[in-house]
Amino acid sequence: MNVLARTLDARSVGLSAVGKLAAADVATLLALVLAGELRHAVDVVGNPGRVLVTAAPFLLGWFLVAALVGAYGDRAFAGGVDTAKLTVGAWLGGAGIGLTLRGTSYLAGDSPLSFALVMMGLGSLALGVVRPLVVSRLGARA
């Protein structure tokens, strides 16, 4: 077992499945941010970097918390409600980090309560639905 597998607590899950799940997470979070930018009439074609700038603190927060709680380990591949519960818990922590980072003077944007509730709620819904579906499609269960 290599160092990455031990770090992720992915003892019985292949790293290729972990990579596919991580790619699905990135796609889901980028889609969530893109939908928000479009909802607020941001010209994402003329300013494509804006989506990445908005998503970056949330992606950082997600991957940090996900690694710490084992959201890429064997428990993440349990499937169904177990996967959804682990995902939502990790997302709430990761979103909290993302919101905190956005509230600093180092990153563009801010973190009003309405934005926090939308990101936490819709992010929980999006990841809580997508991840169990991806896990079931991968067929990689611990």
CA distance 74 to 66: 12
Model pTM? 0.86
CA distance 11 to 74: 7
Yes or no: say if 62 and 90 are a contact pair by the CB < 8 Å rule.
yes
Residue 3 or 27, more confident: 27
Give me the pLDDT at residue 142, please. Answer: 43
Region 38-52 average pLDDT: 84
pLDDT category at 4 given cuts 50, 70, 90 is: low
- Measured over the CA atoms of residue 19, residue 25, residue 28 and residue 31, the dihedral's sign is negative
Give me the pLDDT at residue 140, please. Answer: 47
Yes or no: say if 29 and 57 are a contact pair by the CB < 8 Å rule.
no
At residue 91, does pLDDT exceed 90? yes
pLDDT category at 44 given cuts 50, 70, 90 is: confident
Region 112-140 average pLDDT: 92
At residue 132, does pLDDT exceed 90? yes
Q: Mean of the per-residue pLDDT values for the chain?
A: 87
Give me the pLDDT at residue 6, please. Answer: 52
At residue 22, does pLDDT exceed 50? yes
Region 99-103 average pLDDT: 91
At residue 16, does pLDDT exceed 50? yes
Q: How far from the centroid of its chain's Cα atoms is residue 7's Cα?
A: 18
